[in-house]
Amino acid sequence: MSLLNMEKSEQAELAAQVRKDYAELKAKGLKLDLTRGKPSRSQLNLSNDFLELPGATNYTDAAGNDLRNYGNLEGIKELRTLWGRLINVDPELLLAGDSSSLNIMFDLISWSYAFGNNDSDRPWREEEKVKWICPVPGYDRHFSITERFGFEMITVPMLEDGPDVAAIKELVLDPQVKGMWLVPMFSNPTGVTISESVARELAAMETAAPDFRIVWDNAYAVHILGDEFPKVLPIVDIAAEAEHPNRFWAMSSTSKITFAGSGVAFFASSRANLDWYLSIAGIRGIGPNKINQFAHYEFFGSSEGVRAVMRRHAALLAPKFSAVERILNNRLGEYQVAKWTEPEGGYFISLDVIDGTATRVWELAKEAGIVLTKAGASYPYGKDDNDRNIRLAPSLPPQEEVETAMDGVATCVLLAALEKLGV
């Protein structure tokens, strides 16, 4: 029965039980961490062969280039071709860089700020104000970048098929609105995958700023939890067809495929956007780690090889996600004190608790030794005005710990709800 519909006496009885549960939970002295979307040890083990690649005599690409020497700002052709096939983009319009795509996103914004991008009338630093659209809940590290540059972040809700396009279309009539964050597949943290029609609307819409950009951060393009790989939208083609070829800066990476911090980042976009980026990247450095790129190529072999690795990840991740959903359902379902997503991919479950209790849930969990991502972290400036959302990241801990932690979290959600009701 919904907590709100209960008799006072029933609420009191439940509160007594929940307080007892919470006392027992604290007594366990747990030390569990569900804060970040890190792969587990078992997942990392899937790529151990990578640690001895490319191998002592293997340093020449198909075109005969010695990959041990300087050069090649765009990244090695073999890997760009493989990855282009995977994410539906022409390898000529795809760069392979170092590490995580976050670096490239930061640089794109930083260089637009310092110099202006290829469609800017002037550098963004010369604008009286730069505004940036942020679908929420979203990715905290995105928001940290735009916060650092002092942009005003404007939130729009993430709906079931992507961000609220009607709201976005209004906002982009303002020439100070220069861009937007977006995780288009298995979004962080909602798990939402954007529909093709929403993507086409974002590509086609008229914006007041000629240098408006959507950071299309396709971080979870192949990060499934089930068996099926959803179609990856050919976003560079979609932009060209909509006659806004420079609309998207599209990101992808091998993070959470091979090793988290030792991967390859990819950047796909129009020729004009890439040329602008390369003109500055070529001053910043002498090119990416081609040996690491070649090792990735050798490890995967083909785009189907990437999918094979991702199926193995899914086999390890899916039971953890199922456990979270099962425990939340068992413990909270009948009381209607929370809603949560049941994603088909990605790394997160988004948990909405009763308005005004998310911070309290976080505190209660922390006191019981369960560290959750800070309430509000999925909102710009860490401010969830409804104090409602908590991002759950079940990938890192072993299965048993995930289950223990989630049972604890359920107790905290209930206790915070009861406190809110003054019970």
- The region of 41-49, 178-186, 301-309, 350-358 touching a copy of itself under the rule CB under 8 A is 41-49
Smallest separation (angstroms) from a copy of itself to the CB of 247: 24
Q: Looking at beta carbons only, is 115 or 229 nearer to a copy of itself?
A: 115
User: Phi-psi bin for 148: left (phi > 0), alpha (psi -120 to 50), beta?
Assistant: alpha
| Residue 64 touching a copy of itself (CB under 8 A) | no
343 alpha-carbon distance from chain centroid = 13
Contacts of 79 (CB under 8 A, 6+ apart): 96, 264, 293, 294, 296, 297
Task: Report the alpha-carbon distance of residue 183 to residue 163 in Å, rounded.
Answer: 10
* CB of residue 122 to a copy of itself, shortest distance in Å: 12
Count of residues interacting with a copy of itself (CB under 8 A): 57
Is the Cβ of residue 285 or residue 356 nearer to a copy of itself in the bound state?
285
19 to each of 16, 25, 149, 410, how far by Cα in Å? 5, 10, 45, 12
Q: Give the CA radius of gyration of the chain.
A: 23
CA angle 339, 344, 347 (to 5 degrees): 80
Shortest Cβ 311–a copy of itself spacing (Å): 20
- Phi, psi angles (nearest 5°) of residue 347: -125, 5
- The one segment of 69-77, 83-91, 317-325, 398-406 that binds a copy of itself by CB under 8 A: 69-77
CB of 46 to a copy of itself, least distance (A): 10
The CB-of-6 to a copy of itself minimum distance in angstroms stands at: 43
State which of residues 6, 15, 30, 44 lies at the interface with a copy of itself (CB under 8 A).
Answer: 44
Quick one: 102 or 171, whose CB is closer to a copy of itself?
102
Q: With contacts defined by CB under 8 A, name the span among 88-96, 110-118, 186-194, 365-373 that binds a copy of itself.
A: 110-118
Exactly one of 1, 16, 51, 272 binds a copy of itself (CB under 8 A); that residue is 51
Interface residues for a copy of itself in 288-307 (CB under 8 A)?
288-292
Residue with tokens 């609220």: 164
Is 422 near a copy of itself (CB under 8 A)?
A: no
14 binds a copy of itself (CB under 8 A): no
Q: Which of 107, 161, 237, 344 binds a copy of itself (CB under 8 A)?
A: 107
CB 34 within 8 A of CB 372: yes
Q: Which two tokens stand for residue 188?
A: 């962080």
Residue 201: burial class (beta carbons within 10 Å; 0-12, 13-18, 19+): middle
* Cα separation, 174 vs 263, whole angstroms: 38
Contacts of 118 (CB under 8 A, 6+ apart): 211, 246, 272, 273, 275, 276
As measured in angstroms, the least distance from the Cβ of 371 to a copy of itself is: 15
Applying CB under 8 A, the span of 33-41, 86-94, 182-190, 206-214 interacting with a copy of itself comes to 33-41
| Selected binder of a copy of itself within 28, 68, 122, 231 (CB under 8 A) | 68
**DSSP for 74-141, written as a single string:** T--HHHHHHHHHHHT--GGGEEEEES-HHHHHHHHHHHHHHH--TT-SS-GGGSS--EEEEEES--HH
The yes or no reply on residue 65 touching a copy of itself (CB under 8 A) is no
Query: Is residue 152 within a helix (H) or strand (E), and if so which, with residue range?
Result: strand 152-159
Is residue 283 at the binding interface for a copy of itself, with CB under 8 A as the rule?
Answer: yes
Q: Is 322 in the site for a copy of itself (CB under 8 A)?
A: no
Measure the CA–CA gap between 184 and 179, rounded to whole angstroms: 15
| Pick 10 or 66: Cβ nearer a copy of itself | 66
Residue type, 383: K
* 42 is a site residue for a copy of itself (CB under 8 A): no
Q: Least distance to a copy of itself from the beta carbon of 105, Å?
A: 9
Min separation Cβ 368 and a copy of itself, Å: 25
Binding site for a copy of itself (CB under 8 A): 36, 38-39, 41, 44, 47-49, 51-59, 66-72, 98-100, 102-103, 106-107, 110, 113-115, 125, 141, 144-145, 148-149, 255, 259-262, 280, 283-292
